[in-house]
Structure 1
Amino acid sequence: MKTSPRTLTIHDPDHRISLLSGPIDYQRILPAHCDSESENCHVHLTRASRIGCGHHANVYRVTLADYPFSVVAKVAVPRQAARDFLEHEAKVYAELPAALYSDLVIPRFLGYYISRNDVEASPILLLEECGEPIDPAVLSDDNKTQILNLFHRLHEAGYLQKSPFRKNILVASDSEQRFRIIDLGRAEKVAAGAPEIAEEMREVKKLLRVRQAQSVTQPDQS
């Protein structure tokens, strides 16, 4: 299975990222090297393919040939601060340990790309599509434990997520109810045992409506 296209050809008929007419060539910047990669993939961005929007980015569902999982393209809105968030997020994904991907803590990171022929065009972050935002009202205690464990894994890897909102915790649409943390645009490095870790966990528990009486366990930190 190919994991990261070396280049992209972007088809942007609705001018989602550029005012240029015709295909736009993109080059992968991160990760710099991949064990398994394809030479080029065609990506179509249209108004109809947008599945999410935020203060700093829009998200589009895209189809990549020969990829066995769904993919999204995250692009910055036309502000420098938004581009900075997107670049920072890409660098975080590139630095995180492989186990967080293989253990389904975060989306698979396909790459961060910049345009070769339009300096005004937004960079593109390609990621695995991981489902829909959680609804805390319907989560079981086991679901909550799974999500808490995801945040523990991220903290153990040396990062705070910094925006633990329901829209940034996704659940797969299949019957397995697999959860994933997304949106690392504000993520920060953190030292083991730092008080910020406990603070973020309190925020996550509040979001998940974890009550003291509930038997939601946490993994051993030793």
Structure 2
Amino acid sequence: MPAITIAPTFLIDDTPSSPSGSDSGNHHVISAPIHLPKPTSIPRSLSSTRDHFSVVDLPKLDTFVNSDHLPDVLAIYDKGDITNVRSGGRNTPVYYRRAYPKSERSLTKDPRRAALFLDKANCIESGRRSSVYHAPLFATLGPKGESRKSVVVAAKVANDTCRSHHLLREEAKGYASFPDQFFNASDPHPWAMGPDTPLVNHRPAMRPRCFPGWGVVMNPKSRAPLVTVPPITPKFYGFYVPLNPETMHSLARRHRECEDFQNSDCDVPNWPKSILLMEDCGEHIDPVTMPSEHREQCLQLVERMHCLGFSHGHARASNMLVQPGPLSLPRELRSMDTPSFRLISLGRWRGAYHPQVLESPQGARRAFCKGRQNDVLIAMQELGMVNASGSDEG
């Protein structure tokens, strides 16, 4: 088979494709015909220089990428069939299309393309609902004309139950709905977003009387005023759904009748898997060994979500990550003595101004308020900020 060239002309093809379609969830991820290249193999010239599936010596992508600069189409080289989308082998790609964040530009002529390499050997986490892999990404992540580069991202795929697929899709919707303050260092005051935003009136739920700092909202222990506050979540690099190369329809599937039931776990081992790409933000925290000031920082991430009009929905310690910080310093100067924390696993998020299908605006606000209260209770219990008797820490 002819080799493709992973260079400025990578994945460029003029073969017209068939009309668009949508996935089974009525989320229109294909709004117009796009051009897909013919299945081809990894070029021999690159194969001889390095193992494309290896993450050794590749930099981690940790910068914010504007949605206009994210790939529209991914050619995924899947070593081990992680995606459940059969191809001609590890050197033959399967094609994915970006579903979130949605693109505002026309993709009929020249969609942005990239290559992603998945290998089971690069798995960094395997949980009940999903698995996460380090994955080399070869893409242009800036204005067109810039050179392509290889970086490492975290690729999250659902496990083999219908609810796992649902939660991953909902997490992607959340990432696409969150403001930039979730992903970048920003002013600590929510009203810094501007006077016209409707989210500035939300405050975190008051901490219960039995917890330390009850009645206190966003009260940092440091006497020095905060200039900026760190990001809340990993940076989001897109949610991609598998495509049928013949029909251009999404292969993503769902059980609508199961989505309203939290414990619905239909086994779906053969469903093609969508992929969520995000920043790798370190390891899970250990609240048992964390000093109180670090646990307070984790709780403040949850409270900052509330200030911006969103609840987490599952604010457990297992959904909090830590990495060396501060993030304002170059990577080689960061230390675990000054760590940085992030929240993950956001498939149960609710937004005060983001009603679900058939939900009223009032219903969305009630769900947000309930989620906000549960977040604070669960987070403080998980972080060990109260002892078994319900009294404050000594």
TM-score (norm 2): 0.49
For 1:84 and 1:11, the matched residues in 2 are separated by 24
**Identity over the aligned pairs, expressed in percent?**
28
For 1:198 and 1:14, the matched residues in 2 are separated by 42
User: Residues 8-53 of structure 1: CA distance to partner in whole angstroms, max 9, x if unpaired?
Assistant: 1111121111251231011111111389xx9222111111011112
Pairing 1:99–2:186 present: no
- Determine the structure 1 residue equivalent to 2:134: 61
- Determine the structure 1 residue equivalent to 2:162: 80
User: What's the secondary structure of 1:64's corresponding residue?
Assistant: strand
1:196 Cα shift? 4.0
Question: Which ranges in structure 2 are unaligned for 5 or more consecutive residues?
Answer: 1-62, 106-110, 139-147, 186-230, 246-250, 252-270, 325-333, 353-364, 387-391
User: What's the secondary structure of 1:16's corresponding residue?
Assistant: coil
- Determine the structure 2 residue equivalent to 1:152: 303
For 1:70 and 1:115, the matched residues in 2 are separated by 21
Pairing 1:7–2:134 present: no
| Mapping for residues 100-115 of structure 1, pairs under 5 Å | 100-103=182-185, 104-115=231-242
- Determine the structure 2 residue equivalent to 1:210: 385
Pairing 1:184–2:346 present: yes
Q: Considering fraction of residues, name the structure with more strand.
A: 1
User: Residues 78-122 of structure 1: CA distance to partner in whole angstroms, max 9, x if unpaired?
Assistant: 333222111111001111111111131001011011112272421
Pairing 1:135–2:208 present: no
For 2:183 and 2:84, the matched residues in 1 are separated by 31
User: What's the secondary structure of 1:20's corresponding residue?
Assistant: coil
Greater displacement, 97-106 / 158-167: 158-167
User: What's the secondary structure of 1:12's corresponding residue?
Assistant: strand
User: What's the secondary structure of 2:339's corresponding residue?
Assistant: coil
- Determine the structure 1 residue equivalent to 2:37: none
What is the letter of the counterpart of residue 71 of structure 1? V
For 2:240 and 2:86, the matched residues in 1 are separated by 17
- Indicate conservation of the 8 Å contact 1:69/1:128, yes or no: no
- Indicate conservation of the 8 Å contact 1:62/1:71, yes or no: yes
- Indicate conservation of the 8 Å contact 1:2/1:67, yes or no: no
For 1:112 and 1:42, the matched residues in 2 are separated by 14
Query: Whose radius of gyration is greater, 1 or 2?
Result: 2
How big is the alpha-carbon RMSD for the aligned residues of Structure 1 and Structure 2? 2.6
For 2:104 and 2:233, the matched residues in 1 are separated by 18
TM-score (norm 1): 0.85
Distance 1:68 1:11, change over 3 A: closer
Q: Considering fraction of residues, name the structure with more helix.
A: 1
* Aligned length, in residue pairs: 212
